[in-house]
Amino acid sequence: MQETLPDQDENLEELVLKESIVSAAGLHPDQVQVGIKGDPSLRESTSLRKRYASSVDAVFEALEPNLQELLLNRGIYRLYVAFNSGEIRTLSIFDPLRQETHDATRLADRDYLDRHFPKISYEDKISLMRELYATLRNSRHYKQMPTYWQNILNRRSEKWLPLEPENISGILSTVRKLREIQDYYLRNISICIVQGIVQMQFNCDGTQIVDAHNFRRFLAQNLPE
């Protein structure tokens, strides 16, 4: 493996963090949100497309507390809700490299949730995440990475704080309001407690990536009263 000098490492760290939309260190401290524009034709034709009431909307009253349960009291650390397709994608700390997909109508059933998602307290889940990262950092494969990448990931691990439980509840409680926006309503949403970000796509296409700790600020600026 080719070695780099300390000055080169520092320059490469800075370049990697600047080039990524959401870097290994997350959003930059001065960023509350990042917008990625999609197909302009979809934005221009938004008002012409009829609103679609999905299967997720029909069960969301029962689904919302179960989504909170997944993030707060089960092994799930990342959750993706697709309103158009009715799918819920989950990533679990118990099997972190594999994504599962569930039907929203099934996941609205508490018995289904209990069968598929083992319980773990939020505190224990965070502790397990730290253990997994520590094991990864001590592996020989990790130590074979370029030094600048090890520096980036080590610094992130040292400063990392999980998303607070009250923020999780606050975000999920606003989903129905985001679905009810007249023209640019929510199509899908993803919450990650490791990175502390919320990713959303609306009817106008494109993606909004929001710092979860400042989610209320984002809503105040963008949600119609």
Instruction: Tell me if 217 sits within 8 A of 32, measured CB to CB.
Output: yes
Is 132 inside any structural domain?
A: no
DSSP state of 178: H
pLDDT value of residue 17: 62
Is 145 inside any structural domain?
A: no
50-92 pLDDT, tens digit each: 666 788 999 999 999 999 999 999 999 999 999 989 999 999 9
Is 212 inside any structural domain?
A: yes
pLDDT value of residue 36: 44
pLDDT value of residue 208: 82
Is 185 inside any structural domain?
A: yes
Overall number of domains in the chain: 1
Is 63 inside any structural domain?
A: yes
Is 213 inside any structural domain?
A: yes
Is 79 inside any structural domain?
A: yes
- Nearest one of 174, 172, 203, 160 to 80, comparing CA atoms: 172
pLDDT value of residue 170: 87
Is 43 inside any structural domain?
A: no
pLDDT value of residue 121: 97
* Regions of the chain where pLDDT drops below 50: 1-2, 5, 24-25, 32, 35-36, 38
State which residues form the domain around 167: 52-121+162-222
pLDDT value of residue 179: 85
- Nearest one of 77, 79, 71, 72 to 93, comparing CA atoms: 77
pLDDT value of residue 46: 53
Phi, psi dihedral angles at 123 (to 5 degrees): -65, -45
Query: Residue 208 burial by CB count (10 A; 0-12/13-18/19+): exposed, middle or buried?
Result: middle
